[in-house]
Amino acid sequence: MSALTPREGDLLDVAKEFTLFQIFRGKTRCRGGRTSCLDLIFTSQKSLIEKAVAILPPSATNDHFGLQFHTTLWTQLFPSLPKSVWICPRSKRHYSGMN
């Protein structure tokens, strides 16, 4: 295994500091018989990423594999803000702030 460059060391430090997990560890680039892992998927929760696989490049001139995966995203429901209502004293009609 080769020594890490300062940039690679910085990436690992950030991943450790924010407790990030690297999901895909396979080869994502093939050039001249040499392979390497250039494309990464990091997440804070392993359960959010499923079935990560490398897919072949779309053309013979491209040396990068694609990464395909399934993810589950959760959104938090925020309560809606109350709408303004104006009452006209001379009329029994109500007017909302959203017309």
What residues pair up with 53 in beta bridges, in sequence order?
Answer: 68
Strands (E), the chain: 21-22, 29-31, 34-36, 42-43, 49-55, 66-71, 85-87, 94-96
80 domain-assigned:
no
Q: Is the pTM above the cut of 0.85?
A: no
CA triplet 46, 49, 53: central angle to 5 degrees? 120
Instruction: Identify whether 93 is part of a domain.
Output: no
Q: Is 61 part of a structural domain of the chain?
A: yes
Residue 39 lies in a domain: yes
DSSP state letter for 13: H
Interval 35-61 mean pLDDT? 82
- Regarding predicted confidence, which is higher, 11 or 91? 11
Residue 90 lies in a domain: no
Mean pLDDT throughout 53-68?
Answer: 80
Q: Is the pLDDT of residue 3 over 80?
A: no
The mean pLDDT of 30-58, rounded to a whole number, is 83
Which residue range is the domain that position 21 belongs to?
A: 6-73
- Residue 99 contacts by C-beta under 8 Å, 6 or more apart in sequence? none
Q: How many domains does the chain have?
A: 1
Q: CB count, 10 Å around CB of 12?
A: 12
Q: Is residue 21 part of a domain?
A: yes
The string of pLDDT tens digits covering residues 10-22 is 988 999 999 998 8
28 located within any domain:
yes
Residue 83 lies in a domain: no
